[in-house]
Each structure stands twice: as structure tokens, then as C-alpha cells.
Structure 1
Amino acid sequence: MKYIPLSIPDVVLLAPHVFGDHRGFFLETFRQNDFDMHVGKFTFVQDNHSKSTKGILRGLHYQIQQPQGKLVRVTYGEVFDVAVDIRKSSPWFGKWVGHTLSADNKAMLWIPPGFAHGFYVLSDEAEFSYKCTDYYSPKYERSILWNDPDIDIAWPLETAPVLSDKDEQGKTLASAEVFT
């Protein structure tokens, strides 16, 4: 596994070594001791899996208490995945980083606690799987507007995104609860 820090170095791209031949492929998706060495010591307590269709945008989500670190990957299809640093004390506060994750490239993205997260579905369908460092807690969940001009994410939109009611009601970064 290659661990590649992105332009916000706390967000790390994981590029697995894929062994393949005419029968198919094999790859290791997680190894605790390597993750500890290259990213940090985190314990994962919950795994999630979602399915979405083309044009759906989910995010930008976070939990203001019980913040979740997420190790995300796409098992079917393709998405543009985004992490936004919402830690006031960080030199990257309000900055974003994005990467295309797909079943073909098999890349994963580590998004640490203190970040808002979202993704936009590029393929006809996509299945998205992720490990979390804390449990989901609806009472602490928050959403930042996907198109906040102060963040200015360069989403690769082909049409207007399909949003949930919750995401349509997201706050701007300037008015959102953030981490110190």
C-alpha cells in the first residue's frame, strides 16, 4: 500500500498494490500496523455502505461532537470525493482537497476527524464503503453547503446535483459550527 499525503497533508490517499491475472484480482484494503505507521493510531468502530446514482451529491457532512475519521472507498462505479478542513486552528482551515475514487483505481481516502466530507457520483451508479472512527450520531450531524463560495470546490458537475433536503439546508462555513 502506498500512502500519499495530499495538498492538505492530513488527508491521505491510499493506493493499494493490486495483484491480478486472468482469474481476477486480489488486494489488501486495510492493515492496522501500516495504517498506524503512515497515518496515525485510530480505531475503527463502524463500517458503512451506500449506493447512489449519477449526479447525486452527498455532503458536506460532519459530526460536531463524536467527530468521525473516515477511510472511504468505492467498490462499484466512480465518485469525486472531497474533504474540507474545518479545524479553526489549522493552517488549511476552509481549504478543500478532492480525488476521484473508483472501483477501477481501487484508491482509498483517509479523511481525519475535524473535516467535512462529501462526494459526487460520476458513474451511472456507485457503491461507497467506509470505515468510521466513531459512531454515527444524528444529533451531532451537521452539513455545510456543497457550493459555499468561500470554499469554492471545483466539483466536476455535468448537471445540477441531486441533493437531500438536509444538504439543501446546509450552512455556509462562515455560519457553521466548526472545530477549534
Structure 2
Amino acid sequence: MRDHTAHHAGPTAGERAAHGSPTGPGPGRASWGTAARATAHCLTGCAIGEILGMVIGTALAWHNAPTMILAVALAFLFGYSFTLYAVRGAGLGLKAAVRVALAADTVSIALMETVDNAIIALVPGALDAHLTDALFWYALLGGFAVAFVVTTPVNKWLIGRGKGHAVAHAHH
């Protein structure tokens, strides 16, 4: 006779911890290390896209608004593509992988881009700086640093609730 009481809807806290769950030892908990890694992963894609957009817009002598729009669009594209690549490699189909990438990264990327672009806009002269100006790079990289600090606790909170990067981690 089988004992049907042993079945449950999901893994126990111990099973999640044993299998490297981003939520760690119990519901509502995520480590700062997990949050920092998730933020760094997201920031890497964002940084590549944003730098590429800023370089293209600046090199083509575009005005600030189209340059920032391109930079933000490329930040989202590259940010999503990193997660998309990882979950596709884990065997997810394209449609499911896109849903996972959108769920995993949208809040994180949006917050990082908001913070980073606000920093760039607030640094006097940064929007008018050229690629060869140190101010251009200091404002851009400083914005990334501030965005990382602001976004990490948000990612910790999301992961602890099974949202954000926790969605992607379930497919690794």
C-alpha cells in the first residue's frame, strides 16, 4: 500500500537548499550573495547594451534623447538575451524561454536603467561629453555602480518571493 501523504505540492525548504535554490533555507529568504550574483548577471547585459548604445549614438553625433533611447533598448535586449541564452541552454523552448527572461529580468533591468540614466542626466556635462572624455566614462560607470547598489536589495526581495531571477534559476 502506498502512502499518499508523502506527496506535496513542491519541494521542502531542505530540498530547496540541497538543490541550490535561490531562496535558500526557507520561504521568503534569499541570500545577499544570490541577489548580488543575479544583479551582476543582469547588470552585465545592461552594461553591454547601454555602452554600445551610448557609443553608437555619440559616434553618430545623435542628440541625447535618441542616444538614450537606443542605449536603453539595447540594455533590455542584451539583458534579456543573457537569460534567454541560459534557459534555452537548459532545454526550454523559445516561447517558454522568452516568458522566463521577461519574468526574470524586467524589474531588474528597468530599475537599473532608470537609476543609471538618472545619474548620467544629473552629472553636469555628462550628456554632452564625448567618448574620449573621462566624464563620459565616469558618469556611465558611476551610474552602473549606483544602479547595482540600488537594485541588489530589490532583487533579494524578489528572489525571496520566488520572483525575478528566481524564475530563471528554476530552469538552470
Q: Same fold (TM over 0.5)?
A: no
Per the normalisation by structure 2, the TM-score is 0.24
Q: Compare the two structures and name the one with the higher strand fraction.
A: 1
